[in-house]
Amino acid sequence: MSKSRTPSIKMVADRAGVSVATVSNVLNGKPTVSPDFARRVNDAVRELGYVVDLGASRLRSRKAQLAGVVVPDLTNPMFASFVSTLEHLARLDDYDLVVVSARNNVEEEADRLRKIRSWRPAGLIVIPCDGAFAERLPNGFFAPVVLADRIPDAAGFDLIAVDNGPAAGAIAAHLDKQGYGDCLVLGSSLSITNVRERWEGVRAAAGRMHVEMLEIGIDDVNGAQRLEERLRRRPLPGALFSLDHGTTLLTYRTMAEIGLSVPADLAFASFDDMEWMQLVAPGITAVRQPIEEMAEQAWALLLRRMTGSAGKPVTRRLRCAVEIRGSTPRSPLEEAGNTKLGGEKWTLQDEPYSPE
Partner DNA sequence: AGCTTACAATAAAACGTTTCACCAGAATTT
Partner DNA sequence: AAATTCTGGTGAAACGTTTTATTGTAAGCT
Q: By CB under 8 A, is residue 279 in contact with its own copies? A: yes
In the stretch 25-54, what mask flags binding to DNA with x, by CB under 7 A?
x-xx---xxx-xx------------x-xx-
Kindly report the backbone phi and psi dihedral angles of residue 40, in degrees, each rounded to the nearest multiple of 5, phi listed first: -60, -45
Q: Which does 34 bind (CB under 5 to 8 A by kind): its own copies, DNA, none?
A: DNA
Of 14, 20, 87, 96, the one binding DNA by CB under 7 A:
20
Pairing of strands 321-323, 345-347: antiparallel
Q: By CB under 7 A, is residue 3 in contact with DNA? A: no
DSSP labels, 39-50: HHHHHHHHHHT-
Q: Which does 10 bind (CB under 5 to 8 A by kind): DNA, its own copies, none?
A: DNA
Other Cβ atoms less than 10 A from the Cβ of 64: the count is 16
Q: By CB under 8 A, is residue 33 in contact with its own copies? A: no
Number of residues in the chain:
356
Residues 6+ apart with CB under 8 A from 93: 299, 303
Q: By CB under 8 A, is residue 252 in contact with its own copies? A: yes
Angstrom CA distances, 309 to 55, 65, 314, stand at 26, 16, 12
Exposure of 104 in the CB half-sphere (CA atoms within 13 A):
11
The residue (of 50 and 299) whose beta carbon lies closer to its own copies is 50
Only one of the segments 15-23, 109-117, 210-218, 222-230 lies at the binding site for its own copies (rule: CB under 8 A); that segment is 109-117
Of 1, 29, 63, 259, the one binding DNA by CB under 7 A:
63
Shortest Cβ 44–DNA spacing (Å): 12
Q: By CB under 8 A, is residue 274 in contact with its own copies? A: yes
147 vs 71: CA distance, rounded Å: 10
Residues in the interface with its own copies (CB under 8 A) total 57
- Please tell me what DSSP assigns to residue 137: S
- Quick one: CA dihedral 325, 327, 333, 335, positive or negative? positive
Q: By CB under 7 A, is residue 81 in contact with DNA? A: no
The residue (of 156 and 342) whose beta carbon lies closer to its own copies is 342
Q: By CB under 8 A, is residue 290 in contact with its own copies? A: no
Assess contact for 285 and 323: CB atoms under 8 A: yes
Angstrom CA distances, 214 to 80, 186, 207, 241, stand at 27, 5, 19, 10
Q: By CB under 8 A, is residue 275 in contact with its own copies? A: yes
Of 139, 222, 349, 354, the one binding its own copies by CB under 8 A:
139
Q: By CB under 8 A, is residue 88 in contact with its own copies? A: yes
Shortest Cβ 278–its own copies spacing (Å): 8
Q: By CB under 8 A, is residue 140 in contact with its own copies? A: yes
The residue (of 3 and 234) whose beta carbon lies closer to its own copies is 3
Q: Which does 20 bind (CB under 5 to 8 A by kind): its own copies, DNA, none?
A: DNA
Residues 6+ apart with CB under 8 A from 329: 178, 263, 267, 282, 335, 336, 338
Pairing of strands 239-242, 182-187: parallel
Only one of the segments 133-141, 149-157, 224-232, 321-329 lies at the binding site for its own copies (rule: CB under 8 A); that segment is 133-141
Q: By CB under 7 A, is residue 186 in contact with DNA? A: no
297 vs 311: CA distance, rounded Å: 17
286 vs 268: CA distance, rounded Å: 9
| Residues of this chain that bind its own copies (CB under 8 A) | 4-7, 48-59, 73-75, 77, 80-81, 83-84, 87-88, 96, 98-101, 103, 114-115, 117-120, 138-142, 249, 252-253, 256-257, 274-276, 278-281, 341-342
| Residues of this chain that bind DNA (CB under 7 A) | 5, 8-10, 18-25, 27-28, 32-34, 36-37, 50, 52-53, 56-57, 59-63
